[in-house]
Structure 1
Amino acid sequence: MDGRLRIGTRKSAMALAQTEEIARRLTASMPGLEVEVVKFDTTGDIDQTSKLLPHGGKGGAFVAQIRAAVLKGELQAAMHSLKDMPGNEDTPGLVIGATLSRDPPGDVLVLRPGLSVEKLQRSRGKGLKLGTNAVRRAAYARRLFPDVEVIHFRGAADTRIRKLDQGERQRLPDGGAVGPADALIMARSGLERVGLAHRIAYEFAAAEMLPAVGQGIVAVECAAADWRTRELLSSIDDADARACADAEREVLWVLNGHCNSPIAGFAEIKAAEMLLRASVLDLGGGVIIEASRTGLASRPRELGRAVAFDLLAKGAAEIIERSRPR
């Protein structure tokens, strides 16, 4: 199929690597198609000191600007990391046209030179600073390393590691700074995308740190009424990744989880069955509610709703409400 497709993406190394993979798959599937990558400086990329909440969470910081360009017809598609896309709200006029096959979804530990996993575990983190901007990772970190100081830490994957290695402090919006960090918790998939997988010191099992909803899945969004683009994107859609995404995001939808809620969800498919695990934590990591169910992989949203209602029955709504910004 001949033609041209303009796809928007962030300028970070990881986002560009993800978008190049989309382009490669599209042109392999549709010989003659020309893919133009349009790079955006999103709010979250420009402001690397503030927490994401003032920008509307990850959705406002990394997604909104590119979505607006699709809705205006300036782009045919937009690349997003699925975990950055709000799951508790619809965006009228847009649909996810494709989900790529899932990359490794787990979280990993990256350490400054001279620090070992054994020392971190033995000390329970006492006297050490662990950097992350994700409330879910921060809550789990406080459970795993009760004496660690969790600090606000921003930047693209390669930028964060550079700051870790150079002992650079994280600037704050009020002019102050925190750090430097001794360790970081990051997504394995992101490190692999930018060629930094060798920095992984430890990979957390799902039982230790359940991944974020959609972590490791690249989503391609387009206009709901643009049937030509939807047809193009359908050629690279991975059915298993889409089913897992549907189940996990249904949990967020039912819980009405916001960007300050430590919520995790992870689905796995084996043959015709899907196992879905989800959890809700308080910000301090001292309270955790967990639920899991197995169901038909062909009915992922139904399974997601059932797991979300299990969490609600155990008191998840109260925890989420307490974490809501006042």
Structure 2
Amino acid sequence: MSTPELIRIVSRASPMALAQVERVRAELARLHPGIRTEVVPVTTSGDRWMGSLSALGGKGAFTKEVDAALLAGEADLAVHCMKDVPADRPLPAGTMFAAYLKRDDIRDAVIHPGGLTLDELPAGSRIGTSSVRRIAQLAMSHPELECVPMRGNANRRMEKMEAGEADALLLAVSGLERIGREDRITEILPVETMCPPIGAGVLGLQCREDDEDTIGTVSALGDPAAWRETSAERMFLHVMQGHCNSPIAGYAKAERDGRLSLRARVFSPEGKVVLDAHEWAGPLDPPTLGTSVAVALLRQGARELIDSIPH
């Protein structure tokens, strides 16, 4: 194995995606000062479409064109937000994740022009979000608030809020930090109030399986805790076989002493039903923990709950 002179990184052309690529380029340059990187931008069907994602076949709408560029040999590396990578079906044949970067903040943030927190918002306030996970949990914790559909990148959503399309927004803390807009955060919600999506705050580096040079070079950027947490979460989601209209949430936590836990929840869309499971791995490997937590929720009726939701 040798270190390649050039690594071509395919990326969505959004400000968020390009900021994520810049982080990878910076970390690569620190480890391998001589390496050159260039960005191969693509626009995905998910970026072009502003309607419901389920109409496009779900989250894969953000990854299909990126996968195609990688498999065609037009790029050597793809950088993915793991929360956008479907786990209900395998990665495209011939590709693999070589590393998961050190995890960023997994929590959600409230953005309100007047600085109000979720508890301070008056009844009837409109919260801009299209996330079924956020909608279900808001219905549970703050039934007096109203959710209005909102898609587009974080900057675009803030523009829509300023234009009066919503009174407040829910956005991922990690995303706002990546684009340097954390100054807009009014309140950071604890995971007990707003359980995060599977893969929150994790960037995954995807390569072709036969590209040993690139795999060897970028795997050194990986974080062992992020690898264990993400492996458990993605196996959980895979066993659940949720679709993109399923309000599923959860997060694994790797402790410094090596212990690993996974908490996961499945909601009915209006937040009336909540199924909850929380387990520690003990000696279990991460995928086994993910499977065990999924089975615990399936025993509580999660399959029937997911299958009853139109998609």
Runs of 4+ in 1 over 4 A off after TM superposition: none
Partner of 1:172: none
In the TM superposition, what is the alpha-carbon distance from 1:75 to its structure 2 partner? 0.9
What secondary structure does 1:264 align onto? strand
| TM-score, reference length from structure 2 | 0.95
Structure 2: how far apart are the matches of 1:195 and 1:36? 22
In the TM superposition, what is the alpha-carbon distance from 1:298 to its structure 2 partner? 6.9
Match of 1:10 among 5, 12, 24: 12
What secondary structure does 1:261 align onto? coil
Structure 1: how far apart are the matches of 2:60 and 2:80? 10
Partner of 1:175: none
1:121 is aligned with what amino acid? D
Partner of 2:102: 101
What are the within-5 Å matches in structure 2 for residues 121-140 of structure 1? 121=119, 126-140=123-137
Query: Is residue 9–residue 40 contact of structure 2 (8 Å, CA) maintained in 1?
Result: yes
2:31 is aligned with what amino acid? S
What are the within-5 Å matches in structure 2 for residues 278-297 of structure 1? 278-296=264-282
Query: Is residue 115–residue 182 contact of structure 1 (8 Å, CA) maintained in 2?
Result: no
What are the within-5 Å matches in structure 2 for residues 160-171 of structure 1? 160-167=157-164
What is the percent sequence identity of the aligned residues?
A: 37
The count of corresponding residues between Structure 1 and Structure 2 is 307
| TM-score, reference length from structure 1 | 0.91
Q: Deviations over 1:206-251 (max 9, x none)?
A: 1111110001001111111211111111110111101100001111
In the TM superposition, what is the alpha-carbon distance from 1:57 to its structure 2 partner? 1.3
In the TM superposition, what is the alpha-carbon distance from 1:296 to its structure 2 partner? 3.8
Query: Is residue 82–residue 202 contact of structure 2 (8 Å, CA) maintained in 1?
Result: yes
In the TM superposition, what is the alpha-carbon distance from 1:126 to its structure 2 partner? 2.3
Query: Is residue 258–residue 324 contact of structure 1 (8 Å, CA) maintained in 2?
Result: no
Structure 2: how far apart are the matches of 1:161 and 1:298? 43
Deviates more, 1:297-306 or 1:27-36: 297-306
1:319 and 2:308 matched: no
Structure 1: how far apart are the matches of 2:101 and 2:158? 26
Query: Is residue 2–residue 31 contact of structure 1 (8 Å, CA) maintained in 2?
Result: no
2:93 is aligned with what amino acid? P
1:32 is aligned with what amino acid? G
Structure 2: how far apart are the matches of 1:295 and 1:165? 45
Q: Deviations over 1:273-292 (max 9, x none)?
A: 01110000011111110000
Partner of 1:238: 223
Unaligned runs of 5+ in 1: 168-179
What secondary structure does 1:323 align onto? coil
Partner of 2:144: 147
Q: Deviations over 1:7-60 (max 9, x none)?
A: 11111111111101101111211221111111111112222x211111221212
Structure 1: how far apart are the matches of 2:247 and 2:14? 25
Structure 1: how far apart are the matches of 2:284 and 2:307? 32
Query: Is residue 7–residue 37 contact of structure 1 (8 Å, CA) maintained in 2?
Result: yes
1:146 is aligned with what amino acid? P
